[in-house]
Amino acid sequence: MSLTGRRGILSSMIQDQIRKDLGKICQKLKINSSKLVLEHPADPQYGDYATNIAMHSWHNGYNSPFDLAEKIINTWRSNGLPSYLAKIDVAKPGFINLWLEKDFLISQVEEVIKKRNSFGRESLGKGKTIVVDYSSPNIARPFGIGHFRSTIIGQSIVNLYRFLGWEVIGINHLGDWGTQFGKLIYQIKNRRTKKKLTIKDLERLYVEFHQKVAKKPEIENEAREWFKKLEEGNKEAKEIWKECVEVSLKEFNRIYQRLGIKFDQTSGESFYQDKMKKVIEAAKKRKILVKSEGAWVVEFPDLKIPPALLIKSDGATTYETRDLASIDYRQNKWYPDLFVYEVGAEQTLHFRQIFAIAVKLGYGKAEQFIHVNHGLFYLPGIGKLSTRTGRTVYLEKILDESVKRAKKLGSQNQKIAEMVGVGAVKYFDLKNHPATNIAFDWQKMFALEGDSGPYLQYTYARCQSVLTKSGKDLKKEEFNFPHLHLKTEEQNLLRTIYKFPEVIQQAGEKFSPNLICSFLFDLAQKYNVFYNRLSILKADEAELISFRLFLTLAVSQVIKNGLQLLGIEAPEKM
Ligand code: ARG
């Protein structure tokens, strides 16, 4: 199954219908329409959809793309346009532009109102399974901004695929195993106090170890010994390790609760202790494991990337081996169609290596493995916002500050301030394509007129306030508007709402929650223009009041559904 092959599974209805109907016309004219691409023109005056099919196919017997485009639209017109189309036209140098019919657009508002929280939900992924590996922080280390990105983007991918009908397994692959635990155990063993460990102790001990190494390099060996003992099941080592895991998990779980994150499985690297042997044996059997300076590695002469280390010269296993064991395990447990990893871009090489080995070991096909990499947050003029090298930036501090700013924005209610504050940070992350590096900027995060979480939440709350003020129960109102003369502001909303299912499918296909953000921002802006220019409750006719209220209801519902996919709450009031 190739990525492009998934297009069919993830493409939306009205688009499909157009593709089908236009496809028939093409067939009639003996034009190959298998690569028919439909896009939304950047300028809406060129219609709701445009296709450049004529640009590709005019060589077979036509004078120009324009010539063929005209032929297509004339044939289509004489065949009779489908009822969902208002008109079609040709634009230079040979685009075919399509305008959707008003009745169709209005019917989509009704669709939103009928389907409510399920508007946009699809069963396209029926029978398909996806495993999403995300968040995956490291025990005994602070939960920093990098793991925040993985957590937020990963959760959004989980939500999206579930909404699209896939069976989704979200996994927190905790960093709870590896040589670093030898260092930690060494430090804890050499502590003077016997007081109970706190998360701060763990973070400090780790930093101190590295300071000590500078003076006493031999302690590296002792740490290595300790990890070896841990891998061999030494009781004392295991007990210390267990305590570290418990202390950290408690901390992480508090953060997850605050962020509203739910995993289907939390199984860290340690889970694969007894599952690595199988991988090593499989690799030996396939003769891909070679000895190199006492260690065991897999080489990639065809890919021209450095070898991957599976067993260190002291016999210790590696991050790579554990990842391979986890793929084998996941494959046998769920037979996933896709294995997705939401992990920082600095691990790109790692994933290229383990994906290549997984393919060699027959765990899956190359196109089933996807590394959705994320960039980092940085402070302009200063550099990476990091948890390493001393400049620790704790996620919780950022969230607290954000909630404080949310309060200043207006809401004194703690619950709402939390929704707005946490939502602001999440949105600030998600509105960017995952791979981009983001300049940290409080102003933008809270821009009430800009592309921000608070702006969307504010627009949602505004809709709710209009609906409440109307005093009407829209459930009892009839949805029937045959005589409307739509104003531009209304048209603009209608010509946006229907795109929602399409947008989420694209966001899923491209692993890009940012597409949902830009759609929601566009919708919210259009709603606010509509709100500012037209009267809703004081409109001239009862029919108009009712229509504009339905429109308001639909907009608020779509914003809510979109925010929900992003993992951001929509407070009724702000
Ligand atoms: N714990 C790792 C780190 O923080 C990320 C793990 C990502 N997932 C994986 N299956 N390798 O660097």
In DSSP terms, 383 is beta-bridged to: 379
Whole-number pLDDT of residue 384: 75
User: Is any ligand 1 atom within 6 A of the Cβ of residue 268?
Assistant: no
With respect to residue 1, please indicate whether it lies within any of the assigned structural domains: no
The answer to whether 93 and 534 are in contact (CB under 8 A) is no
Tell me the average pLDDT across 323-335: 98
Which residues lie closer than 8 Å to 309 by C-beta, 6 or more apart?
295, 296, 297, 318, 320
The answer to whether 353 and 360 are in contact (CB under 8 A) is no
The H-or-E segment that residue 50 falls in is strand 49-51
Q: How confident is the model at residue 391 (pLDDT cuts 50, 70, 90)?
A: low
Measure 68 CA to ligand 1 centroid, in angstroms. Answer: 53
User: Is any ligand 1 atom within 6 A of the Cβ of residue 136?
Assistant: yes
The answer to whether 257 and 162 are in contact (CB under 8 A) is no
User: Is any ligand 1 atom within 6 A of the Cβ of residue 324?
Assistant: no
Measure 174 CA to ligand 1 centroid, in angstroms. Answer: 7
Whole-number pLDDT of residue 9: 35
Q: Is pLDDT of 509 > 80?
A: yes
User: Is any ligand 1 atom within 6 A of the Cβ of residue 201?
Assistant: no
Q: How far apart are CA 162 and CA 160, in angstroms?
A: 5
**Residue 305, CB half-sphere, CA atoms under 13 Å: how many?**
16
Q: Are residues 317 and 419 in the same domain?
A: no
The answer to whether 298 and 308 are in contact (CB under 8 A) is yes
Q: Is pLDDT of 4 > 50?
A: no
Query: Positive or negative, the Cα torsion across 71, 73, 76, 77?
Result: negative
User: At 32, which CATH number?
Assistant: 3.30.1360.70
Whole-number pLDDT of residue 12: 54
Query: Positive or negative, the Cα torsion across 312, 267, 250, 341?
Result: positive
The residue whose CA is least distant from atom 5 of ligand 1 is 136
Q: Is pLDDT of 387 > 60?
A: no
Q: Are residues 319 and 174 in the same domain?
A: yes
Whole-number pLDDT of residue 378: 87
Q: Are residues 415 and 371 in the same domain?
A: no
User: Is any ligand 1 atom within 6 A of the Cβ of residue 138?
Assistant: yes
Q: Are residues 202 and 151 in the same domain?
A: yes
Q: Is pLDDT of 388 > 70?
A: no
Q: Are residues 169 and 267 in the same domain?
A: yes
Measure 371 CA to ligand 1 centroid, in angstroms. Answer: 11
Whole-number pLDDT of residue 483: 85
Query: Positive or negative, the Cα torsion across 190, 192, 196, 199?
Result: negative
Q: How far apart are CA 265 and CA 134, in angstroms?
A: 11
At residue 541, the 3 state secondary structure works out as: coil
User: In this predicted model, what pLDDT tens digit does every residue of 311-322 receive, in sequence order?
Assistant: 999 999 999 999
User: Is any ligand 1 atom within 6 A of the Cβ of residue 149?
Assistant: no
User: In this predicted model, what pLDDT tens digit does every residue of 359-373 receive, in sequence order?
Assistant: 999 999 999 999 999
Q: Is pLDDT of 285 > 50?
A: yes
Q: What angle (nearest 5°) sits at the alpha carbon of residue 91, between those of residues 88 and 94?
A: 105
User: In this predicted model, what pLDDT tens digit does every residue of 236-277 receive, in sequence order?
Assistant: 999 999 999 999 999 999 999 999 999 999 999 999 999 999
With respect to residue 538, please indicate whether it lies within any of the assigned structural domains: yes
| Amino acid code (one letter) for 195 | K
Task: Out of 135, 173, 180, 276, give the residue to mutate to test ligand 1, the one with the largest number of ligand atoms within 8 Å of its CB.
Answer: 173
Query: For residue 66, what are the domain limits?
Result: 11-100
User: In this predicted model, what pLDDT tens digit does every residue of 435-449 receive, in sequence order?
Assistant: 999 999 999 999 999
With respect to residue 535, please indicate whether it lies within any of the assigned structural domains: yes
Residue 299 CA to its chain's centroid (Å): 32
Residue 249, CA distances (Å) to 131, 182, 230, 240 in order = 22, 19, 19, 14
Whole-number pLDDT of residue 327: 98
With respect to residue 391, please indicate whether it lies within any of the assigned structural domains: no
Question: From the CB of residue 183, how many other CB atoms can be counted at a distance below 10 Å?
Answer: 25
The answer to whether 176 and 139 are in contact (CB under 8 A) is yes
Q: How confident is the model at residue 6 (pLDDT cuts 50, 70, 90)?
A: very low
169 token code pair: 């397994």
Of ligand 1's listed atoms, the one at least distance from the Cα of 347 is 12
Q: How far apart are CA 333 and CA 335, in angstroms?
A: 6
Measure 172 CA to ligand 1 centroid, in angstroms. Answer: 9
Q: Are residues 279 and 212 in the same domain?
A: yes
User: At 322, which CATH number?
Assistant: 3.40.50.620
Q: Is pLDDT of 100 > 70?
A: yes
pTM for the predicted model, two decimal places: 0.94
Q: Are residues 245 and 300 in the same domain?
A: yes
User: At 453, which CATH number?
Assistant: 1.10.730.10
Tell me the average pLDDT across 377-394: 69
Residue 448, CA distances (Å) to 145, 401, 453, 522, 566 in order = 24, 17, 9, 14, 19
User: Is any ligand 1 atom within 6 A of the Cβ of residue 133?
Assistant: yes
Tell me the average pLDDT across 336-341: 98
The angle, 0 to 180 degrees and rounded to 10, between the axes of the packed helices 199-215 and 179-189 is 90
With respect to residue 113, please indicate whether it lies within any of the assigned structural domains: yes
Whole-number pLDDT of residue 2: 33
| Amino acid code (one letter) for 181 | F
User: Is any ligand 1 atom within 6 A of the Cβ of residue 175?
Assistant: yes
Q: Is pLDDT of 8 > 60?
A: no
Q: Are residues 558 and 446 in the same domain?
A: yes
Q: Out of 193-197, 260-264, 266-270, 278-282, which region has the weakest mean confidence (pLDDT)?
A: 193-197
Tell me the average pLDDT across 486-510: 97
Measure 252 CA to ligand 1 centroid, in angstroms. Answer: 15
Of ligand 1's listed atoms, the one at least distance from the Cα of 147 is 4
Q: How far apart are CA 127 and CA 148, in angstroms?
A: 31
Q: How confident is the model at residue 34 (pLDDT cuts 50, 70, 90)?
A: confident
Measure 483 CA to ligand 1 centroid, in angstroms. Answer: 58
574 token code pair: 């702000």
| 429-454 residues labelled b (16+ CB within 10 A) or e (exposed) | bbbbbbeeebebeeeebbbeeebbbb
Q: Are residues 73 and 188 in the same domain?
A: no
Q: Are residues 152 and 118 in the same domain?
A: no
Task: Out of 343, 348, 386, 395, give the residue to mutate to test ligand 1, the one with the largest number of ligand atoms within 8 Å of its CB.
Answer: 343
Task: Out of 169, 347, 373, give the residue to mutate to test ligand 1, the one with the largest number of ligand atoms within 8 Å of its CB.
Answer: 347
Measure 268 CA to ligand 1 centroid, in angstroms. Answer: 9
Count of domains observed in the chain: 3
Q: Are residues 365 and 416 in the same domain?
A: no
With respect to residue 386, please indicate whether it lies within any of the assigned structural domains: no
Q: How confident is the model at residue 392 (pLDDT cuts 50, 70, 90)?
A: low
With respect to residue 285, please indicate whether it lies within any of the assigned structural domains: yes
Tell me the average pLDDT across 177-186: 93
Q: Are residues 435 and 370 in the same domain?
A: no
User: Is any ligand 1 atom within 6 A of the Cβ of residue 173?
Assistant: yes
265 token code pair: 């499985």
Q: What is the mean pLDDT of the chain?
A: 93
With respect to residue 183, please indicate whether it lies within any of the assigned structural domains: yes
The residue whose CA is least distant from atom 1 of ligand 1 is 175
Task: Out of 136, 245, 248, give the residue to mutate to test ligand 1, the one with the largest number of ligand atoms within 8 Å of its CB.
Answer: 136
Whole-number pLDDT of residue 106: 96
